[in-house]
Structure formats: structure tokens, C-alpha cells
């Protein structure tokens, strides 16, 4: 029985744990709070700060896992580089996890590989941000180099807006690097995630592209297949193949692209793990992104991935000022449409805009309608 140490226990980790357990793995889940989604379905759980170098090292040595599988970005990745040197297997590879933990490193890598990206620069002070933004153009996106799900991310055009963006980024950053990336704002036509599979043999394959819509830098809904032209798919596949081959290892990657009005494919970012917009694959594909990640990380043969049917996903979010306990209402109503399926993540408490569940349906309209019927209510 293979032992998996899962670093991060959110909704993606929960589904991955289920996929791993179905094929006989023993899963130890980690996160900074108790009863996180993946912990509810795993064999064992550890609650600690994964940015704490010594603690993370200690947990790895205690459990001696066959595979260390990161599910989030906020991990002390230096420990993973060392663990790999000492013979542990990090999924997809310690290099991939280390480079993607910080937006600047993966951007630099994409640029070095010759991929089209938005123009970008870095800043470590408010003044520097204003200076760099001016060089880039009128409208820019500002993001902490270390963050996810849109945290600390904003857009700015004026000096005052840049000042607020700086403040917002520093408040929203994870880890201890006071550094932001400032990017040219791309007025894209649409954006996609290309789930890209890298097998240990080096073989690269793809799922059908997923279209998605974001708000506050966070995913709201997604659909598969995205309506891309053949040339857009080919260009995205070529770029994704370059990126994952360079990062190495084995697993599924979420490679994000913007497609501009002229059909140009612009690399945005990459996650070396299942992707939130890819939850739709639980509905559409014969094997979901979680089943694929599980198979590939274990080095098992990969079945042919097929799109069984088109589909869409829509998040169920907590309200803007939500905190504390909650109840979810309206599930019966949402399920009246027989094409609808859902996942409720079982997070133990609310936070503002926290993702609490996801609706899946055969069309985007149906997913939106069903999602409107479900509400997350605070409970005293
Ligand atoms: N340079 C940009 N131009 C236009 N939109 C952007 C830009 N950067 C980010 N966005 C929007 O914000 C979303 C989240 O940004 P992303 O870099 O993917 O952050 P995260 O790691 O939090 O997912 C993107 O999917 C896109 O919709
Ligand atoms: Mg993203």
C-alpha cells in the first residue's frame, strides 16, 4: 500500500484523496486547520503550518511517505527540494513545486522558454511599483508573488490606484516575501485552462480545454470543452508541453492561457496539480483530473481520457462578510434539474467569499440556475 503525504487539504485535495483511496493508497492529509475537507476522507491528518520548515521536515521524517503531493502553494518548498535529494518523490517534481510557488519564478521560466506572456516586472516598494507600472502601460494587474485564488490581486490605472494596489497586495500576500508582480492588463477575448498530463516516461497528453470566468481573481464558473479554434488549441498545447517538460516529474498540471481578440495564445500561469476550474471534469470526463493525477503520480498506466459529455461547473460561495458556522440551503431545489450534480466541500467555517461547494450541469445556463438556488447561510 503506497503512503501519500498530501500537503493541503481543500476541496481539490478531498477529491484527490478519494481517487487515491479508491486505488488502495494510505493518505495522510495536512493543513493549518482541523477537519479540512480532505481530512474528512483520509486515513490520518496532521494540523500544522506548512510554511514552518522544521515542522514540515519533521512530518516528512515521521511518516516516510512514498509520495509527497502538494495541493496548495503555501509550502516551504526548500524542504521539498531537500526531501527529493534524500530520495523522496515529490509530485510532480520538487522543481515544479518550487518554481510555481512564486509567480515571479514561473513567469521568468516561461519567458526563457520563449512563451508569449503579458509584459511584467517586479516591485518591492510602492515607489518601485509606480515606476514599473508606468513603463508597462496604462492599465496593470498587481499580484503578490505568493498568493492564490485572487488574494491580494487588483487592477490599477492611476497613481492612487497603484498605491491602494500595493497595500492590498501586501495585506493579501502569503509567506514573507514583500514582492509583487506587476503585469500588463490583457483585454482578453476569453481564458482557458489546459489540463496537461505528464507521465514519468516524459509522455505529454491533454484534456479538452476548459473555459472559465473569474471575479475578484477567483474562478466563478467553467465549462468544457471551451470553444477554441484548432490553431488556438495547437498553440496552447505546444506551450503547455514545453512548460511541463521543462518542469519534469509526473502528474497533471493546470496551464492557464489568455486568448486575445486576434486569437493569440498568451501564457498566464501554471499549477502543478489539479486545477479549481477543472472540477468540471468530474462531470464531463471518463476519468476526472483527480483520477488522472492519482494514476499518473503512482506511475500506473494512463487510460485513454475521453470527454463523455460537455458540461459546466459553478461555484457556491459564502457571502462577502461571512464568518463562523453555517448551513447550506436549497440543495433539493438545485437537484430538481436531473442533469445537475454537486459537491459540498464540508469546510468547517465560513470566510468572506469562501468556496463552499460546486454545482455541475450539462450547460452553463443550467449550472448558473442551479447555483442560484443554493445559498450559504451563517448560523449563530
Ligand atoms: N494580466 C492580466 N490581465 C487581465 N486579467 C488578468 C491578468 N492577470 C490575472 N487576470 C485575471 O485574474 C485571474 C486570476 O489571476 P491568476 O494570475 O490566475 O491568479 P491566481 O493564481 O490567484 O489564480 C485570471 O484568471 C484572469 O481572469
Ligand atoms: Mg489562476
Name the architecture of domain 119-184.
Answer: 2-Layer Sandwich (3.30)
Q: Is 138 a catalytic residue?
A: no
Q: Is 150 a catalytic residue?
A: yes
Beta strand 265-271 with 311-317 is unpaired
Q: Which ligand is nearest to the CA of 152?
A: 1
Beta strand 26-31 with 44-47 is parallel
> DSSP states of 54-122 as a string?
HHHHHHHHHH--SEEEE-SS-S-HHHHHHHHHTT-EESS-HHHHHHHHSHHHHHHHHHHTT--B--EEE
Sign of CA dihedral 275, 280, 285, 290: positive
pLDDT per residue as tens digits for the range 181-214: 999 999 999 999 999 999 999 999 999 999 999 9
User: Which segments in the chain show pLDDT lower than 70?
Assistant: none
Whole-number pLDDT of residue 220: 98
The superfamily CATH assigns to domain 190-378 is ATP-grasp fold, B domain (3.30.470.20)
Q: Which ligand is nearest to the CA of 141?
A: 1
Rounded to the nearest angstrom, the distance between the alpha carbon of 62 and the centre of ligand 1 is 38
| Domains of the chain, residue spans | 3-90, 119-184, 190-378
pTM comes to 0.96
Calpha distance 238→244 (Å, rounded): 10
Whole-number pLDDT of residue 176: 74
CATH code for 3-90? 3.40.50.20
Q: Is 276 a catalytic residue?
A: yes
Which residue has the least CA distance to atom 1 on ligand 1? 185
Furthest-apart CA atoms within the chain: distance in Å: 57
Residues lining ligand 1, Cβ inside 6 A: 118, 141, 148-150, 183-186, 191, 214, 217, 256, 268-269
Provide the mean pLDDT of the chain: 96
Mark out the alpha helices in 157-272 (DSSP H runs). Answer: 159-172, 230-247
Whole-number pLDDT of residue 332: 98
Q: Is 277 a catalytic residue?
A: yes
Whole-number pLDDT of residue 380: 75
Whole-number pLDDT of residue 62: 98
Q: C-alpha cell of 113?
A: 522558454
Whole-number pLDDT of residue 154: 94
Helix axis angle, 94-101 to 77-85, nearest 10°: 170
Rounded to the nearest angstrom, the distance between the alpha carbon of 149 and the centre of ligand 2 is 7
Whole-number pLDDT of residue 342: 98
Residue 295's alpha-carbon distances to 20, 27, 194, 210, 284, in angstroms, are 8, 14, 19, 21, 18
What is the number of the ligand 1 atom nearest to the C-alpha of 219?
25
Q: C-alpha cell of 332?
A: 433539493
Ligand 1 mutation target, pool 72, 116, 122, 153, most atoms within 8 A of CB: 153
Whole-number pLDDT of residue 149: 77
Answer yes or no: same fold for 119-184 and 190-378. no
Amino acid at each position: 500500500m503506497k503512503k501519500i503525504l498530501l500537503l493541503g487539504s481543500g476541496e481539490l485535495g478531498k477529491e484527490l484523496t478519494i481517487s487515491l483511496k479508491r486505488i488502495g493508497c494510505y493518505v495522510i492529509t495536512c493543513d493549518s486547520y482541523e477537519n479540512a475537507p480532505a481530512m474528512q476522507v483520509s486515513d490520518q491528518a496532521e494540523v500544522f503550518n506548512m510554511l514552518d520548515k522544521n515542522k514540515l521536515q519533521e512530518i516528512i521524517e515521521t511518516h516516510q511517505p512514498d509520495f509527497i503531493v502538494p495541493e496548495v502553494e503555501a509550502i516551504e518548498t526548500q524542504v521539498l527540494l531537500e526531501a527529493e535529494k534524500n530520495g523522496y518523490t515529490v509530485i510532480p517534481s520538487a522543481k515544479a513545486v518550487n518554481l510555481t510557488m512564486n509567480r515571479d519564478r514561473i513567469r521568468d521560466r516561461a519567458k526563457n522558454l520563449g512563451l508569449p506572456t503579458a509584459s511584467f516586472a517586479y516591485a518591492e516598494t510602492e515607489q518601485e511599483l509606480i515606476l514599473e507600472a508606468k513603463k508597462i502601460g496604462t492599465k496593470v494587474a498587481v499580484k503578490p508573488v505568493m498568493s492564490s485564488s485572487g488574494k491580494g490581486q487588483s487592477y490599477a490605472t492611476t497613481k492612487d490606484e497603484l498605491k491602494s494596489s500595493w497595500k492590498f497586495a501586501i495585506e493579501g500576500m502569503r509567506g514573507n516575501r514583500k514582492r509583487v508582480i506587476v503585469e500588463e492588463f490583457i483585454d482578453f477575448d476569453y481564458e482557458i485552462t489546459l489540463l496537461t498530463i505528464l507521465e514519468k516516461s516524459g509522455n505529454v497528453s491533454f484534456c479538452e480545454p476548459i473555459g472559465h470566468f473569474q471575479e475578484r481573481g477567483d474562478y466563478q464558473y467553467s465549462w468544457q470543452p471551451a470553444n477554441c479554434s484548432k490553431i488556438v488549441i495547437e498553440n496552447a498545447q505546444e506551450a503547455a508541453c514545453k512548460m511541463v517538460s521543462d518542469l519534469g516529474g509526473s502528474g497533471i498540471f493546470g496551464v492557464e492561457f489568455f486568448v486575445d481578440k486576434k486569437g493569440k495564445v498568451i501564457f498566464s500561469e501554471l499549477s502543478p496539480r489539479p486545477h479549481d476550474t477543472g472540477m468540471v471534469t468530474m462531470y464531463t470526463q471518463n476519468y476526472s483530473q483527480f483520477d488522472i493525477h492519482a494514476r499518473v503520480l503512482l506511475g500506473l498506466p494512463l487510460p485513454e481520457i475521453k470527454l463523455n459529455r460537455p458540461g459546466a461547473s459553478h461555484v457556491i460561495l459564502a457571502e462577502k462578510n461571512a464568518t463562523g458556522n453555517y448551513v447550506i440551503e436549497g440543495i433539493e431545489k438545485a437537484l430538481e434539474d436531473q442533469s445537475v450534480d454537486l459537491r459540498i466541500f464540508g469546510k468547517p467555517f465560513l470566510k468572506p467569499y469562501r468556496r463552499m461547494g460546486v454545482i455541475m450541469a450539462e450547460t452553463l445556463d443550467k449550472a448558473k440556475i442551479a447555483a442560484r438556488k443554493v445559498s450559504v447561510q451563517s448560523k449563530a
